[in-house]
A and B are shown apart, each in its own frame.
Chain A
Amino acid sequence: MQEQKSSFPFSMVERMMPWYPGIAVMGWAFVLIAFLLALFVLSPSQASFFSDAKAVREGAGVGSAFVNANFGSHVLEAWLPQLKFFGLGLGLLAIVMALGTIAKRLRSMGMVIFSQLPEKMRPAVPPPPKRIRLFQLSALMGIMVLMIVLIVGIILAVSVVSGYWNNSIVNDLNPAQPGSTLLSQLSVISSYAFWLNPLRMIGMAFLFTAITVALTVIIGTLRMQTKLLGGLVQKAG
Chain B
Amino acid sequence: MNENTPYQLKLFPVLTILGWILISLALIIGLVILTPTAANYFGANSKEVRDAAEAGSVLLSQLGVLASIPLWLEPLIFLGVAFFICGIALEFSIIPSLVKQRGDVMSQAFPLIVKLGK
* Residues of chain A having any CB pair with chain B under 8 Å: 113, 116-118, 121, 173-178, 183-184, 186-192, 194-195, 197-199, 201-202, 204-205, 208-209, 211-212, 215-216, 218-219, 222-223, 225-226, 229-230, 232-233, 236
Contact = CB atoms under 8 A, between A and B. Distances in A.
A159 to B, nearest CB: 16
Contacts of A117: 113, 116-117
A202 to B, nearest CB: 6
Among B74, B106, B114, max chain A CB count under 10 A is at: B106
A118 B117 contact: yes
A10 B104 CA distance: 34
Given A197-B30, A236-B112, 16 more contacts: A113-B106, A116-B113, A116-B117, A173-B47, A178-B44, A191-B36, A198-B26, A201-B77, A208-B16, A208-B84, A212-B16, A212-B87, A212-B91, A223-B98, A226-B98, A229-B108
B35 A195 contact: yes
A156 to B, nearest CB: 13
Interface of B: 9, 12, 16, 19-20, 23-24, 26-27, 30-31, 34-36, 38-48, 70, 74, 77, 80-81, 84-85, 87-88, 91-92, 94-95, 98-99, 101-102, 105-106, 108-109, 112-114, 116-117
A202 B117 contact: no
Nearest to B5: A223
B42 A183 contact: yes
A201 B92 contact: no
A183 B43 contact: yes
Contacts of B34: 191, 194-195
